[in-house]
Structure 1
Amino acid sequence: MKLNRIGIILIACALAAITLVVTLLVMRQQDSQAAQVRVKGVGLAKSLSGIPVAQLDDGKTAGLLNALLAYHDDGNFAYAAITDANGRTLAEVASRGTMTPRVALPPDAASGFGERELPPSAAGPVLREFYGPMTDRSRGTAFVRVGFQQPRFAVLARDVSFLALLALMMFLVVPVIYLVIKREMAPLAGLHDQLRQLAAPDQPSSRVDDMRELVSGMQGYLAQAGERVARLELGARTSTADNRLLQYGSKKLNAALHSLPDGLLMLDPGGDVTFVSGKVEPLLGIPADALLGKPVDDWCRDTALRTLLARYSGAARDGARPQSVEFAPANVEGRQLCATAQPLSGGHGAMSFGTLVVLRDVTREQLARQAGNDFVAHVSHELKSPLNVIGMYAEMLADADEESLRVESLNVIQDEIERMNALVGNLLNVSKLDAGSMSPERNRVRLDDMLRDAYDQAIPRAEGKGLHVALDLPRDLDAVTIDKDLFRIALNNLLTNAIKYNRPGGSVTLAARNDGHEIVISVRDTGIGIAAPDRDRIFEKFYRVSESGAPVARGGHGLGLYLTAQIVELHHGRIAVDSEPGVGSTFSIHLKSAPVPAGAAVL
């Protein structure tokens, strides 16, 4: 009985589905016919409005109106009429059984084309009318009116066979479903009948024992099934946990690879890119989308990198050892990269997984090497020049008889010795800084005497180049805790640069001021100034500002400002520069002040 009820329910559902589908198809047909009527009506009204009224109405017949409407006529056409502004009909034609309704046009009919729905007559259908003004105004303002019958709900003859076939297919699905359900439920139905027979009151006791055995077996089977389901659920949960763990590990590894400071590229054995880290784009100047899944020749414009990667792709793959190459990327100006290709293999080299390429920015290392080479060459020149001068003046001193010539030779030799001594001292101080063995011996110092002494030493050097030196100190300058000898080196380096890179007739000003809890010492010059790109690097070791177009080449070894910045940093201060090319530069040292307690000794 239960299967019979299921069959009836399936049939009812199928019939309801068929009815719904047929209804939707009929409604779609009706909407399609209405759209066709609208297209025909608008097109016909616009076509008639452009024809002269005299051709449409010759006074005897409807003129071209009959011929045009005979061509456009179909089952839904009702009428077409030409009326004047007062509603009088100038010409009309109507299909059989219909006539033009005597209904006034809307007030805005003269402004453009429109459509409206007219109520049905006593026995007529609903009409859809399209109207608009005539272009020809020879008989005054005239209007064209075209009417079509509103499409009704009906099944088109051409669609009957399709709907019947669709309904038949849907109806045939019902017995198939019913047979499948009946076959699957047949064992349960047979078991149900057997249980009813065993449960009958007239059955002997042996049947009761059989029923108990059957129930016991079913309970065992259900228990086993429950255990099996529990194991499957546990396996599913374990698999889900393993998948999530693998996903977490994969995401963590991916995040770690993207966070590395070097760029990573992974190529498959064929040479196509399969992985790109986030650092590759700023290094190579190529978006990751342009690399993934592409062979090397499609995106690589750097000959050195392309040659390196060609050794690890296809039949020419070289899996023996990693190789490196340095190159300047074509898409990023002013950068030097080092690319290292490492074969990825497993099974003691029996399996190849591709190639790992590590891109590292070695621009700073290259600049440091270049600066070091330039420094060695420059220091060699700086040492050789004083030695040549000392040798030349030593010969002059040996042969000189005049007292003035001997004094001049001794002064020149002394100056060159001091120059060499300053260079060697800077080199020793830089070496101590790099080794970390320079530790300042701080004492509380008043800067007035030290600044005046530095000012007095700078005057002869400045006057020899036609420069004016000024000292600007407040009346009461706070004390600072510094290593006096080290700080004098930093101050002399700033004054030496201000004099060296000044212009004839310029000035150098050494100033200091109290600024809250700081003392600011500044060296200001009216020299050539420093360009913006150089201001960020002038405190680097061995760096020298380029002087393209300078009238006189100036010496220098690129250590003075580096040493000054390091000494200021050792005193927990900071140094700043404000410069404009062609105007001058101002170097400012900021130190924390150390007020002098009562009775304390000050150097």
Structure 2
Amino acid sequence: MKLNRIGIILIACALAAITLVVALLVVRQQASQAAQVRNKGVGLVKALSTVPMTLLADSSGRGGVLAAVLASHDGSDFAYVTIGDANGRTLAEIAGSGSIAPATPLPADAQAGFGERTLPATGGSAPLREFYGPLADASGGKAYVRVGFHQPGFTVLAQDVSFLALLALMMFLVVPVMYVVIKREMAPLAALSQQLRGQLRQLAAPGRPDQAGADDMRELITNMQHYLDQAGARIVQLEEGSLNTTADNRLLQYGSKKLNAALQSLPDGLLMLDPAGDVTFASGKVEPLLGIPMDQILGQPLDAWCCDPALRTLFGRYSGDLRDNARSHKIDFAPLNVEGRQLSATAQPLSGGHGTMSFGTLVVLRDVTREYLARQAGNDFVAHVSHELKSPLNVIGMYAEMLADSDDESMRVESLNVIQDEIERMNALVGNLLNVSKLETGSMSPERNRVRLDDMLRDAYEQALPRAEGKQLRVLLDLPRELEAVAIDKDLFRIALNNLLTNAIKYNRPGGSVTLAARNEDNEIVISVRDTGIGIAPEAQDRIFEKFYRVSEAGAATQRGGHGLGLYLAAQIVELHHGRLVVESEPDVGSTFSVHLKIVSAPAGAAVL
């Protein structure tokens, strides 16, 4: 019975929905027809208002304008067209079949222009929709044209009947489908209800013992309760399984995201290749290392993005039928898309099942530019030091032979002087190398004390005089009357100062000058070494403080010795004292090296050396 009620309710709902849809469609059609009537009325009034009055007044039916209007609107909602004044007096008119033009005065605002109004129904006819407007040619008076149409009613157009019937049929067919589905789902409950009714009828039958009926009912209720308990337990089990599955999925997503974040944060670039050689994963570090956008790498074949021959050869070992699934390989190469960079690529096959299964290849890209430059610098260092030591040794050996074979006293003195100079050159080189080694290993720590710079600068000036006089140079000392004391390592700073003076003397011209000066400037003391030598080109000024770097000059390589450590060592010592070494130079004019040291106030009673 309950299912029958549900079916009836479904049918009623379907019929209500069909009725509502049909009503909405009828209302929409009525609104559409009203809009069409308005468009026709406004257009007809505006068209007739421009026609001369002589043509409009000819209503004899012999081809006048109004007759033409009636012929063109025959069979539609057209009612009438009249030409008259504002009070309703008609000069000419024409009306459709069964229509009468009402003699109704126009509204007071008719003189303002075109308008429209609704006229009530008269004599059982439908209400009228009238449109009016002034005539352009009124023949000396004020005349108006009025056009009337029957107000559209609520009707169903013939062309829409088939569509509405099809829509109603489709909606009505949904009802039996829903009824069948509901009936099928409720069939177990209906069977249970029928069984309960049968039991109740047996209990109510005459002559049946009450105890037997009660036992049957108790057994039925017990079985039903057992079934419900099993169904509830199964539902709980399914819910727990769903929760566990959701938790496992979230845990897997979290683990995947955490692993991906860890791989992305590694300083090296990672590439994961499938057995076919296509990239399935690439970390963010790969793009700056190779200079290739990420979207051109992921999911693309090797030939589409890799332009480095060495890398293509490495990838070729781990793709195709002859791939190597047992050994890793490493190569060093310079990427073509990134200038000045050296990379190391290590490929490791990913296999399982004791090598019987291949999951692809992991490629690790490392930036080894610094290591490469360090190795290259080490090789250059060994070659440079070997050359610098070999040259004075050859000179010493040559003059030693001359000293042994010659009896000329002047030749012996010259040989001894040359040998002494070369020994001093070798000592300077070895001393600078030891100091550089201490600086780079961090074993050189300055013992800073407050020092009077004027005394130390005068000592450096006096030591530079003999070397300058031997090259026909003048050495000048320019010190203020009072010079602040600074906290420096006196012995270490003297090495930097002597290197600057030696450089100024070595790269000067005969007859030139070297000026050692100092001045107080704000919170700094500036010590400058100025020469009138060959100067330094602008492109070389950024590199003169590099280790072993020497300025290239035509003819100077054989005329001036040097090992390229003096300025490097001076800059490092000044930096240890938290100072700055600045160069200003102009080719063929001279150079000025300035040491800027901070003035630090001394505590009370501090000694000054």
Band the TM-score falls in, shorter-chain normalisation: 0.7 to 0.9
Aligned partners of 2:321, 2:70: CA distance in 1, in Å?
78
Deviation per residue, 1:289-309 (Å, 9 max, x gap): 221111111122223222322
1:308 matches 2:314 = yes
Instruction: Quickly say closer, same or farther: Cα 1:506–1:445, change in 2 above 3 A.
Output: closer
Higher gyration radius (CA): 2
CA contact (8 A) 2:118 2:130 kept: no
1:528 to 508, 533, 536: 536
Residue number in structure 1 paired with 2:485: 478
**What is the CA-CA distance between 1:119 and the residue it aligns to?**
2.8
Q: Which residue of 2 aligns with 1:140?
A: none
Q: Which residue of 2 aligns with 1:456?
A: 462
* SS of equivalent residue, structure 1 residue 275: strand
1:193 aligns with 2:197: yes
* TM-fit CA distance, 1:240: 2.0
Once the two structures are superposed, residues 24-74 of structure 1 have per-residue CA deviations (whole angstroms, 9 ceiling, x without a partner) of 5566767888999999999x99x999xx999xx899999999999999999
> Out of 276, 279, 284, which is 1:278 matched to?
284
Amino acid in structure 1 at the alignment position of 2:295: D
Contact 2:119–2:130 (8 Å) recurs in 1: no
Deviations 1:50-102 (A, max 9, x none): xx999xx89999999999999999968999999xxxxxxxx999998799x98
Identity, in percent, stands at: 63
Amino acid at match of 1:452: R
* CA distance in 1 between partners of 2:79 and 2:336 (Å): 77
Measure the CA separation in 2 of the matches of 1:93 and 1:80: 5
Report deviation, 1:423: 1.2
- What is the deviation of 1:254? 0.5
Paired residues of 2:483 and 2:520 also in contact (CA < 8 A): no
Partner of 2:385: 379
Q: What is the aligned counterpart of 1:254 among 251, 260, 270?
A: 260
Counterpart secondary structure, 1:301: coil
Per the alignment, residue 15 of structure 1 pairs with 15
Instruction: Between 293-302 and 364-373, report the one with greater CA deviation.
Output: 364-373
Instruction: Report deviation, 1:570.
Output: 5.7
Paired residue secondary structure (2:321): helix
Q: Which residue of 1 aligns with 2:428?
A: 422
Instruction: Give the SS at the match of 2:118.
Output: coil
Alpha-carbon distance change, 179 to 471 in structure 1, aligned in 2, over 3 angstroms:
same
C-alpha displacement of 1:500: 5.6
From 586, 595, 602, the counterpart of 2:602: 595
CA change 1:503–1:402 in 2 (3 A) is closer
Q: Say whether 1:214 aligns with 2:220.
A: yes
Is 2:296–2:305's contact at 8 Å kept on the other side of the alignment? yes
The correspondence for 1:264, drawn from 260, 270, 280, is 270
TM-score (norm 1): 0.74
Q: Distance in 1 between matches of 2:81 and 2:550?
A: 93
- Which sections of structure 1, spanning at least 5 residues, go unmatched? 83-90, 110-115, 135-143
Q: Return the alpha-carbon distance in structure 2 between the equivalents of residues 34 and 125 of structure 1.
A: 12
What whole-Å deviation, never above 9, does each CA across 1:334-390 have from its counterpart, x for those lacking one?
222222222222212212222222221122222222222222222222223323443
**2-structure distance, mates of 1:38, 1:364:** 86
CA distance in 2, matches of 1:30, 1:580: 96
Q: Distance in 1 between matches of 2:427 and 2:285?
A: 47
Residue 340 (structure 1) aligns with: 346
Change (3 A) 1:29 1:247: farther
Write out aligned runs for 1:161-560 (5 A). 161-183=162-184, 184=186, 185-194=189-198, 196-197=200-201, 204-394=210-400, 399=406, 401=408, 403=410, 407-435=413-441, 437-438=443-444, 445-459=451-465, 461=467, 464=471, 470-472=477-479, 475-480=482-487, 482=489, 484-497=490-503, 509-511=516-518, 513=520, 522-523=527-528, 525=530, 527-528=535-536, 531=539, 535=542, 541=547, 544=549, 547=552, 552-553=556-557, 557-560=563-566
Residue type at the aligned position of 1:162? F
Instruction: Give structure 2 stretches of 5+ with no counterpart.
Output: 84-91, 137-144
Question: What's the CA shift string for 1:182-230, capped at 9, x where partnerless?
Answer: 2324234335535755886987121112222222333333333333222
CA distance in 2, matches of 1:104, 1:515: 96
Q: Answer whether contact 1:459 1:469 (CA < 8 A) is retained.
A: no
For the Cα contact (< 8 Å) 1:263–1:278, is it kept in 2?
Answer: yes
Partner AA of 1:311 in structure 2: R
User: Structure 2: which amino acid aligns with 1:478?
Assistant: A
| Cα offsets for 1:478-513 (capped at 9, x unmatched) | 35263x433333443444455566799576555365
Distance 1:530 1:182, change over 3 A: same
Q: Give RMSD over aligned pairs.
A: 5.4
Q: CA deviation at 1:127?
A: 6.7
How far 1:316 sits from its partner (Å)?
4.3
Say whether the 8 Å CA contact 1:284–1:332 is kept in structure 2: yes
CA distance 1:313–1:38, change in 2 (3 Å): farther
Relative to structure 1, is the Cα distance of residues 274 and 410 closer, same or farther in structure 2, using a 3 angstrom cutoff? same
Bigger mean CA offset, 235-244 vs 520-529 = 520-529
Q: Given that residues 126 and 149 in structure 1 are in contact (C-alpha distance below 8 angstroms), is that contact kept between their aligned partners in structure 2?
A: yes
Q: Deviations over 1:110-163 (max 9, x none)?
A: xxxxxx9833344577879899xx9xxxxxxxxx99999998765443333233
| Residues 454 and 479, structure 2, Cα contact 8 Å, conserved in 1 | no
Which is further off, 503-512 or 454-463? 503-512
**Which shifted more, 577-586 or 235-244?**
577-586
State the AA in 1 paired with 2:226.
G
Amino acid at match of 2:8: I
Q: Any idea what SS the aligned residue of 1:179 has?
A: helix
- Change in 2 beyond 3 A, CA 1:560/1:238: farther
Q: Report SS of the residue matched to 1:14.
A: helix
Structure-2 change in CA distance of 1:390 and 1:169 (3 Å): same
Q: Is the 8 A contact 1:117 1:127 kept in 2?
A: no
Match of 1:358, SS state, is strand
> Structure 2 vs 1, CA of residues 37 and 59 (structure 1 numbering), >3 Å: closer, same or farther?
closer
Task: Report the more deviating stretch, 273-282 or 159-168.
Answer: 159-168
2-structure distance, mates of 1:501, 1:154: 112
Cα offsets for 1:492-542 (capped at 9, x unmatched): 3444455566799576555365876xx65644657426659x74x766655
Residue in structure 2 matched with residue 137 of structure 1 by the alignment: none
- Work out whether residues 334 and 342 of structure 2, in 8 Å CA contact, stay in contact via their aligned partners in 1: yes
Matching residue of 1:141: none
Give the match for residue 120 of structure 1: 118
Alignment of 1:121-136 (within 5 A): 121-122=119-120
Match in the other structure for 2:139: none
Structure 1 residue matching 2:536: 3-state secondary structure: coil
Is residue 326–residue 355 contact of structure 2 (8 Å, CA) maintained in 1?
no
Q: 1:351 to 1:387 in 2, by over 3 A?
A: same
Normalised by the length of structure 2, the TM-score is 0.73
